[in-house]
Structure 1
Amino acid sequence: MIQAFITSLKSGAGNNLKFVGLSNYKRLLTDETFKKAVFNTLIYLVVQVPIMILLALFISVLLNDKNLKGKGFFRTAIFLPCITSLVAYSVIFKSLFANDGLMNKLFMNIHLISSPINWMTSPFWAKITIIIAITWRWTGYNMIFYLAGLQNIDPSIYEAAEIDGASATKQFFNITLPLLKPIILFTTITSTSGTLQLFDEVMNITGGGPGNASTTISQYIYNLSFKYTPNFGYAAAVSYTIVAMIVILSLIQFKVAGDNK
């Protein structure tokens, strides 16, 4: 990390770098591609992370029901996406959301749409495709943490609540959520960090397109290093913006959660 910061204070191609001070950081302020990448990444963060956290929490509560049959199957099925090959599942998603792909055919058959949606060539729908892909992949991962937390809650607490006449809804908001607070904080921080570093799905599904409509900060770093004329100094400066964003957002999340440790 120290070496990366030193590199961010230099500029030049390959190993032929010279010290330029804070010039790379000043360049960020006028770099429209960087601003677009930051905007796209924050869109993914603001939209996808809450959806994924709530969905994982909801599914974990359902699968923690002691009367549910086939719990092992459902838990495994929902967890499996996060251990699949990134490239393999990205290729499948790209096929599913192609103009003549299964999703368009399905929506047209049930008359939700009258013409195919341009998932890959529309700035709006390209982002939606990425959000669907990463939600599908990582919801099961977060679900496992919530399941572990739920199974460590003493059942006698719920029994006492039932005796006092508390409904299932009141039990969820007054018992389950408060006791899962540390895990919710943990999954929120890790999901935020992961989304700010989002690269694989965008690279393999949309390629950052159309134009730079779905480009993320990490993909822009890759482009600066290997696709455009290599500029490792500026790429390192861009990478440090991710570090700053993760630190700031994590501190905010700790503050909102009321965790002073």
Structure 2
Amino acid sequence: MATQAIVTSDGARRRRRDSPPPDFTPRTGPWLSTARRRNLTGWGFLLPAALLITLFSFVPMIQAFVLALQTGRGARLGWAEPLWMNFERLLHDEIFKLTMFNTVFYLVIQVPIMLILAMVLANLLNDPKLRFKAAWRTMIFLPCAVSLVSYSLVFRTMFATDGLVNDALMGIGLMQEPLNWLGEPWTARFVIIIGLLWRWTGYNMIFFLAALQNIDPSSLEAARIDGAGSFKTFWYVTMPQLRPMIVLTGILSINGTLQLFDESWALTKGGPAYTSMSMSHYLYELAFLKNPNVGYASAISYVILILVAVLAFIQMRAGDRRD
């Protein structure tokens, strides 16, 4: 049993057995303090992820910039003269200008429509009176989980000259003769936009649905008690609380559209004559097909990076309205 020293009247020191033991915990030095140990533990957890991100993200970015300053074919690369020759070439490349126009066209048309549709669907599926909500959510979300090859084959079959779309439009009298959807520049672009909407609207709907379910119902009820209608309640109460999610989905959608490759490659093959090709698709052809030129392709990749960074910065600044 533990003892403790007590002092008697004559000054003698005795030990009492029922007292708790004194604290003999050794004091740690400043290099092993609690704060320092926690700091080192945090860095220990972060270091592997930081090393992997550096190895697989930042190192390739630096290598791509070095490649953008070089010219040549295959492994026979040399420094460009002048070093910015590949970037200067972009200003005179009509195909690159066309692919940039196509990508911006997809961005301007598809992203707003997709986000508005996703928000409308999320509000409809958030209605507590709606029956079979799980089934509706699954059906709307399912397209983004479908294989790209499968859905591209279905779309190419539907929009073929003798496909379902032409048959349906002629059947209801909107067309007199079949239209070559994939063989005309503007219709091929709209086929890609329809494919993007079909594939990614449900994906963004899930984000909005999660944000709507986190809104306090009392704020909506207070707006209704004050006499606000459905539209005003949504616009003045729901929308401000959805702003962070709108910024997030907007940044993800813009970044994904600027890096668009799948639909351009699988649906239209970039045709006819590059009129539906995206910048990433053109980069792929320059780097791996048709007499590969990795230096010029790396210059295009940095243009895409700059566009993504600038638009993401603008969106974050526009959406960050803190009270």
Pairwise TM-score range, normalised by the shorter structure: over 0.9
Distance 2:192 2:268 in 1: 8
Residues 157-196 of structure 1 correspond to what in structure 2 (within 5 A)? 157-196=219-258
Q: CA deviation at 1:165?
A: 1.0
Residue 148 of structure 2 is aligned to residue 92 of structure 1: no
2:68 corresponds to = 8
How big is the shift at 1:194?
0.3
Match of 1:43 among 105, 108, 113: 105
Where does residue 138 of structure 1 map in the other structure? Answer: 200
3-state secondary structure, aligned to 1:17 = strand
1:112 aligns with 2:174: yes
In the TM superposition, structure 1's runs of 4+ consecutive aligned residues that sit over 3 Å from their partners are none
Q: Which amino acid aligns with 1:3?
A: Q
1:218 aligns with 2:280: yes
Aligned residues: 260
* Amino acid of the structure 2 residue aligned with 1:218: S
Where does residue 185 of structure 2 map in the other structure? Answer: 123
2: CA distance between counterparts of 1:254 and 1:117? 42
Q: Which amino acid aligns with 1:146?
A: F
2:218 to 156, 163, 173: 156
Q: 2:262, 2:221 → 1: CA distance?
A: 46
123-132 vs 220-229, greater mean Cα deviation: 220-229
Q: Residue type matched to 1:175 in 2?
A: V
- Residue 134 (structure 2) aligns with: 72
| Alignment TM-score, normalising by the size of structure 2 | 0.79
Cα distance in 1, alignment partners of residues 134 and 171 from structure 2: 34
TM score, norm. by length of structure 1: 0.98
How do 1:227-242 residues align onto structure 2 when only pairs under 5 Å count? 227-242=289-304
Letter in 1 for 2:109: V
**Structure 1 residues 234, 107: CA separation in 2 closer, same or farther (over 3 Å shift)?**
same
Supply the distance in 1 between the matched residues of 2:132 and 2:271 (Cα, whole angstroms).
41
Q: 1:57 aligns with which of 119, 123, 144?
A: 119
> What per-residue deviation string (whole Å, max 9, x for no partner) do you get for residues 151-193 of structure 1?
0001111111111111010010001111000000000000000
Task: State which drifts further: 110-119 or 230-239.
Answer: 110-119
What SS is found at the alignment partner of 1:69? coil
Measured in 2, the distance between the counterparts of 1:153 and 1:128 equals 36
Q: Which structure would you say has the larger RCO, counting Cα contacts within 8 Å and 6 or more residues apart?
A: 1
Match of 2:164 among 102, 115, 122: 102
Which SS does the other structure have where 1:11 is aligned?
strand
Residue in 2 that maps onto 1:250: 312
Q: Aligned letter for 2:184?
A: S
Q: Which runs of 5+ in 1 are unaligned?
A: none
Partner of 1:23: 85
Distance 2:177 2:119 in 1: 35
Aligned-partner SS, 1:82: helix
Shift of 1:259: 4.7
Give distance in 2, aligned partners of 1:176 and 1:107. Answer: 39
Q: Structure 1 counterpart of 2:181, which letter? A: W
Distance 1:115 1:253 in 2: 44
Larger displacement relative to structure 2 (159-168 or 38-47): 159-168
Q: Distance in 1 between matches of 2:290 and 2:125?
A: 48
2:93 & 2:143 partners in 1: Cα distance?
36
Give 1:2's aligned amino acid. I
Cα distance in structure 1, aligned partners of 2:96 and 2:157 = 29
